[in-house]
């Protein structure tokens, strides 16, 4: 899965090289400006229990006079270990203990996105984007989405900004159970930023996707975070992401004839509609 994530990121990075050439042709006198934010989080426990969680995200942005190109990629992986201890010997005072650890991945998801925005006026813009996600624990092996749309800047103050855009999408989704489906849709997005203090910034992003093939198939991603600057380069970021799928993927579970009885087959049941992620990460801005 990690190899798929790397390959998908490289594909989107390759696509992103097309846009700078177009921008440069349109604005030959402009000078590109690059900015990069890298986030890293890691938790490791050992001893009587073993687990580790790893999260990474990188956002690369290129700005010109009237255009912005952004490449965003990241993922999380959580692994837990079950320790089994056994003793071999003749009694309480004569034995040796051995340990075996069985490791299991309990959470894993990856994403990559490239987006290009072009200003039409001080308040309006058009955009195009391509994205890929993989969340096997939510039943999604791969989902590729392309989008084009138009947006408006509702608030453009020194301390606050609020952008809303509406677009059309085409998605191809590979579910672990249920095969591949391709469908068109509509996307509504908002992005709100607020400079709370001189060192703290709040960011809220909402993405709503509605399938035109089945209007009951509504998905949402609500991502909120606050970042506190430590130095000019380092910051601490705390985030809460809520993922909603009105028609979640299916999983196969064992069917028993009674509690603790005999397994008589399997059944398909929907996964949870809501996933929640809470992260604390160190951010490096260049």
Query: Tens digits of per-residue pLDDT, 125-136?
Result: 999 999 999 999
Q: Is residue 118 pLDDT above 70, yes or no? A: yes
CB 192, CB 208: distance < 8 Å: no
- The CATH number given to 2-285 is 2.40.160.40
C-alpha atoms less than 13 angstroms from C-alpha of 228 in its C-beta half-sphere: 5
pLDDT of residue 141: 93
Most confident range, picked from 139-143, 148-152, 258-262 = 148-152
pLDDT in tens, 225-273: 999 999 989 999 999 999 999 999 888 899 998 888 899 999 999 999 9
Q: Is the pLDDT higher at 94 or at 28? A: 94
C-beta separation of 127 from 148 below 8 A: yes
Residue 100: band (very low, low, confident or very high) from pLDDT cuts 50, 70, 90: confident
Residue 158 has pLDDT above 80, yes or no: yes
Q: How would residue 85 be classed by pLDDT, with cut points 50, 70 and 90? A: confident
- Per-residue pLDDT band for 106 (boundaries 50, 70, 90) equals confident
**Region 155-174: what's the mean pLDDT?**
95
How many whole angstroms separate alpha carbon 173 and alpha carbon 275? 18
pTM: 0.81
User: Rg of the Cα trace of the chain?
Assistant: 23
Domain ranges of the chain: 2-285
For position 46, what pLDDT does the model report?
A: 74
Beta-carbon contacts of 79 under 8 Å, excluding residues fewer than 6 positions away, are 51, 52, 53, 103, 104, 105, 106
- Mean pLDDT taken over the chain: 87
């Amino acid at each position: 899965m990690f190899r798929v994530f790397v390959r998908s990121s490289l594909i989107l990075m390759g696509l992103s090289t097309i846009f700078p050439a177009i921008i440069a042709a349109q604005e030959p006198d402009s000078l590109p400006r690059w900015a990069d934010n890298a986030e890293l989080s890691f938790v490791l426990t050992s001893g009587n229990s073993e687990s580790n969680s790893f999260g990474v995200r990188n956002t690369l942005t290129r700005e010109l006079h009237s255009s912005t190109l952004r490449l965003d990629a990241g993922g999380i992986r959580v692994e837990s270990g079950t320790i089994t201890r056994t003793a071999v010997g003749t009694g309480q005072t004569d034995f040796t203990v051995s340990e075996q650890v069985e490791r299991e991945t309990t959470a894993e998801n990856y994403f990559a996105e490239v987006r290009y925005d072009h200003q039409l006026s001080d308040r309006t813009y058009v955009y195009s984007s391509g994205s890929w996600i993989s969340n096997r624990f939510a039943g999604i092996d791969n989902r590729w989405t392309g989008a084009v749309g138009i947006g408006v800047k509702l608030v453009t103050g020194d301390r606050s900004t609020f952008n809303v855009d509406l677009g059309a999408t085409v998605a191809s989704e590979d579910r672990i159970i249920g095969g591949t489906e391709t469908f068109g849709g509509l996307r509504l997005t908002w992005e709100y930023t607020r400079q709370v203090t001189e060192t703290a910034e709040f960011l809220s992003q909402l993405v709503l996707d509605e399938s035109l093939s089945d209007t009951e198939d509504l998905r949402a991603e609500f991502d909120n975070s606050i970042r506190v600057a430590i130095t000019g380069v380092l910051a601490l970021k705390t985030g809460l992401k809520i993922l909603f799928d009105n028609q979640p993927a299916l999983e196969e579970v064992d069917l028993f004839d009674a509690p603790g009885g005999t397994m008589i087959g399997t059944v398909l049941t929907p996964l949870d509609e809501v996933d929640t992620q809470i992260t604390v990460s160190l951010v490096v801005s260049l």
